[in-house]
A and B are shown apart, each in its own frame.
Chain A
Amino acid sequence: MAETVLTHSGQPTARLEGWRGIAADWASDQRAFKNVSWGKAMMWIFLLSDTFIFSCFLLSYMTARMSTTVPWPNPSEVFALNIGGNHIPLILIAIMTFVLISSSGTMAMAVNFGYRRDRVRTAILMLVTAAFGATFVGMQAFEWTKLIMEGVRPWGNPWGAPQFGASFFMITGFHGTHVTIGVIFLIAIARKVWRGDFDVERRGFFTSRKGYYEIVEIMGLYWHFVDLVWVFIFAFFYLW
């Protein structure tokens, strides 16, 4: 498949630098992005499309927040926890963010070990990433439960604009779905790595295509994207 970094003849492509190189690549035949495999190109373009989805969600939320005539609940208060008698604002969100960012670190390490064809370490690091992701979703479930117990509903809440609950559940729910899907795929790919599918080029059950270690990197692109989106949600929803 398109996973070769080298050309068919075994020689690296002669590359021009900078803009001239980009122009030369786009003017060439076969591939506009030289040395980018089909799978990686497809993930990048999907992420671009997904960016538009999250942007629309966030812009809609900002529109609602800016145009509402009733007060918006104070996120620092709403998302505060009492721990050991101390009232700490945004503490849960801070921990969640820390967990998710850490998972990006382990994911990056998994990608690195994947390219070294280190089966065991790659699989373990992917599973650690999945565990971080699952922890994140678990804490999100805790947060949802807490807010629901306090009376926050999609159609209203005790403190102000009803769009608060609506936007909160919708945006964090949609992001949480992304994380959950990511966790499922992390586990599935970790299993393939562990089993050595990519060493023996075993064919996929559905696609009958050979697998490559690059799939770990493509998975990583998705995972880092989901992290990045969380940074924006964190900034625009919790810190605003």
Chain B
Amino acid sequence: MVDIPYEGIEGIPPAEVPDVELYHPRSWWTRYVFSQDAKVIAIQYSLTATAIGLVALVLSWLMRLQLGFPGTFSFIDANQYLQFITMHGMIMVIYLLTALFLGGFGNYLIPLMVGARDMVFPYVNMLSYWVYLLAVLVLASTFFVPGGPTGAGWTLYPPQAILSGTPGQDWGIILMMSSLILFIIGFTMGGLNYVVTVLQARTRGMTLMRLPLTVWGIFTATVMALLAFPALFVASVMLLLDRLLGTSFFMPSLVEMGQLSKHGGGSPLLFQHLFWFFGHPEVYIVALPAFGIVSDLISTHARKNIFGYRMMVWAIVAIGALSFIVWAHHMYVSGMFPQFGYFFATTTLIIAIPTAIKVYNWVLTLWRGDIHLRVPMLFALGFIITFVNGGLTGLFLGNVVVDVPLSDTMFVVAHFHMVMGVAPIMVVLGAIYHWYPKVTGRMLNDALGKFHFWVTFLGAYLIFFPMHYLGLLGVPRRYFELGDTSFIPSSAHSLNAFISVVALTVGFSQMVFLFNLAWSLFKGEASGGNPWRATTLEWQTPETPPGHGNWGKELPVVYRWAYDYSVPGAAEDFIPQNQPPRATQLVQGAAS
């Protein structure tokens, strides 16, 4: 850090808030286990999310085995297949991606990037992780209870979700709902911390429009999550009551196993509205942090300022706001009042505008940049390509008339895996390659990383691109096996087998990544504090990995935005945010 006097620097107002006194751990337990340090909590979140994510990965292998080679594996029956689908979806969307982006990257990066010592309420932040862990354990326990996990599909639509005949009707659905409620409680505790830290605990000179886009993405996603998860909370409580107490919020009167059920008068559509009022923002809760992180990866590794920073910020905010009024585009075939569809189709297509702005700006950032094809950059480029692909098929599905025939086919599966499966995972992986040196002080192995990227990127395309074609043929999603149907050619079965082989290969190649993570922790090349020569504050910490309290004696002071790369006339091709103007050697008038 540059040496600066504490008062009266050019245009930087004095500190409004006295420096915080942190809780100082006194034992191994409070330092590494019940830690209140956001960085430790971030690692705990990430490891837990990765562990449960690996379970979901294995479930996807089992599903692909069944789909690719129906009838070959006697240990998978139809009920289990439905359970695999449900758990795979729920784990990947909520317990892996949401937790990893917000709990993992949010906790690690927000305090460092805004120049804070920690989250504003570290104790609440710690509770957030432990409640999340409890939610994960409750979810994982469903694999061992009588009847197994619920097989209602990750959308958990009633009435089918809680009727007998659906696998996991005994315990699975109850524990799933309980786990979701716990997750939301835990997330709220963390989410409040992230939001207040960004709004109220920035360092001197760090205005909102100087924040790195990573923080903007995570911040907006967290605000959205705080407003969207309540709908899921309410839906979970009501479905739990329907199942446990026999209320009829969602349950119409119907015949169950040959007998008139005890329910009556409820509205299944109400659940779908509540679920998707959460569910659609959830897509962007996962996507916005990815947008933000990828912007920083591209800018850093192309050695160029992000193109249209303000536009990028407003696009993030606009996407966040719009995503609350598009939810019923998941319900075109649900039986809701059909003319609603046109409103929701319109709002859905409007989202394409800010999203396209972001894509253009990423491409324009790359344009004539000094592109370094290092592993994080490879993943960032992979993200753009998969995201554009998934975004374009989103235009298909956003239109009512196109969606109706494509609904519930593999086309939908291909679309959302491209746009919110592969694309955010690309960013997660790129971000891990990018920030691993800061977390551990060591570089990840480059050769293994490049191998990992190419297998993952090409493999993901080979898996999900043919699925679009299967969907256009009319192959339905969620089916245990296709059987003999006249409209599905035998080539579709061969394609399914091909997809399965690739999926298993890509899945196993992730082990290379896990090995790389473990191996580099001990044997990786020492990275130094700022291996990518990046401008943002987290790379300017006095120690690497950053110590407790992040900044040593004095908080950094910020003089510039986060993207001063290749400034004409500057001595280096990057200027850290905390470098004062007079310490920068500039040709007079060359930059401002």
Which residue in chain A gives the minimum CB-CB distance to B191? A49
| Residues of B contacting A64 in the complex (Cβ-Cβ under 8 angstroms) | 249, 265-267, 270
Residue A31 interfacial (CB < 8 Å)? yes
Interface size on A, residues (CB 8 A): 53
Q: Which residues on A are within 8 Å of B, measured CB to CB?
A: 1-2, 4, 7-9, 13, 26-34, 36-39, 41-42, 45-46, 48-50, 52-53, 55-57, 60, 63-64, 67-70, 154-155, 161-163, 165-166, 170, 174, 206-210
Residue B294 interfacial (CB < 8 Å)? no
Report how far A2 CA is from B116 CA in the complex, Å.
13
A–B complex contacts, Cβ < 8 Å, 27 sampled: A1-B17, A2-B200, A2-B201, A4-B18, A26-B208, A27-B209, A30-B16, A30-B202, A31-B199, A32-B200, A41-B200, A42-B192, A45-B226, A49-B229, A52-B227, A56-B274, A56-B277, A64-B249, A154-B241, A154-B245, A155-B246, A162-B248, A166-B245, A206-B123, A209-B21, A209-B23, A209-B123
Q: Contact check: which of B123, B230, B558 meets A52 at CB < 8 Å?
A: B230
Residue B195 interfacial (CB < 8 Å)? yes
Residue B233 interfacial (CB < 8 Å)? yes
Q: Contact check: which of A42, A60, A210 meets B238 at CB < 8 Å?
A: A60
**Given A30-B15, A52-B231 in contact, is the A207-B123 Cβ separation under 8 Å?**
yes
The reply to whether B121 and A207 form a contact with Cβ atoms under 8 Å apart is yes
Instruction: Report the minimum CB–CB distance from A209 to chain B (whole Å).
Output: 8
The reply to whether B227 and A27 form a contact with Cβ atoms under 8 Å apart is no
Residue B134 interfacial (CB < 8 Å)? no
Instruction: Report the minimum CB–CB distance from A157 to chain B (whole Å).
Output: 12
| Residues of B contacting A49 in the complex (Cβ-Cβ under 8 angstroms) | 188, 191-192, 226-227, 229-230
Which residue in chain B gives the minimum CB-CB distance to A207? B123
The reply to whether B267 and A30 form a contact with Cβ atoms under 8 Å apart is no
Which residue in chain A gives the minimum CB-CB distance to B13? A29
| Residues of A contacting B205 in the complex (Cβ-Cβ under 8 angstroms) | 29
Contact with A along B520-558 (1 / 0, CB 8 A): 000000000000000000000000000000000000001
Chain A to chain B: the 7 pairs with minimum beta-carbon distance, closest first? A166-B247, A52-B230, A56-B234, A155-B246, A53-B230, A207-B123, A38-B120
Instruction: Report the minimum CB–CB distance from B29 to chain A (whole Å).
Output: 15
| Residues of A contacting B207 in the complex (Cβ-Cβ under 8 angstroms) | 27-29
Q: Contact check: which of A37, A39, A67 meets B267 at CB < 8 Å?
A: A67
Instruction: Report the minimum CB–CB distance from A52 to chain B (whole Å).
Output: 4
Report how far A113 CA is from B224 CA in the complex, Å.
37
Q: Contact check: which of B201, B233, B245, B277 meets A38 at CB < 8 Å?
A: B201
| Residues of A contacting B18 in the complex (Cβ-Cβ under 8 angstroms) | 1, 4, 8
The reply to whether A53 and B233 form a contact with Cβ atoms under 8 Å apart is yes
The reply to whether A38 and B200 form a contact with Cβ atoms under 8 Å apart is yes
Residue B315 interfacial (CB < 8 Å)? no
Report how far A68 CA is from B355 CA in the complex, Å.
41
Report how far A234 CA is from B244 CA in the complex, Å.
27
The reply to whether A68 and B16 form a contact with Cβ atoms under 8 Å apart is no
Residue B301 interfacial (CB < 8 Å)? no
Residue B500 interfacial (CB < 8 Å)? no
Report how far A18 CA is from B266 CA in the complex, Å.
48
The reply to whether A30 and B249 form a contact with Cβ atoms under 8 Å apart is no
Q: Other than the known A28-B207, A64-B266, what 5 A-B pairs have Cβ atoms closer than 8 Å?
A: A30-B16, A31-B201, A49-B191, A162-B248, A207-B23
Report how far A41 CA is from B193 CA in the complex, Å.
10
Report how far A42 CA is from B14 CA in the complex, Å.
24
